[in-house]
Amino acid sequence: MSSFEMSLGRVGDATTAILVGEIDSGSAHQLFAVLVPGGQMLIDLSSVSYVSSSGLRALLLLHRQAREQDTRMAITGVADEVRFVMAATGFLDFFEIAEGVHR
């Protein structure tokens, strides 16, 4: 089983979720715990080394849930390889990418 951890914090009025490890079929379901209705949500992927097929789907589902709850969700710190995979599979098109993150 791959390792995955998650921690929540706040930067100004935005909730920040820092994800660490690999997002795959073993860990993807944990993502949905981060969602806070309303406001802004920043998903920090700078410590995520791999996102599997299930992981990409979970991120997209999270994004859609956020929109239904009027939460503005953005992702940040996407590592080159993860960004490449998201771009090649078309998933990247759905996300707002925030450049830089202030911890």
Residues that bind other proteins (CB under 8 A): 24-26, 50, 52-54, 56-57, 60, 84-85, 87-91, 94
Q: Which of 51, 48, 55, 66 is nearest to 30 (CA)?
A: 55
**What is the smallest separation between the CB atom of 55 and other proteins, expressed in angstroms?**
9
**What is the smallest separation between the CB atom of 16 and other proteins, expressed in angstroms?**
25
Residue among 10 and 96 whose Cβ is closer to other proteins: 96
User: CA 55 to CA 14: how far, in whole Å?
Assistant: 23
Q: Which of 60, 89, 65 is nearest to 75 (CA)?
A: 60
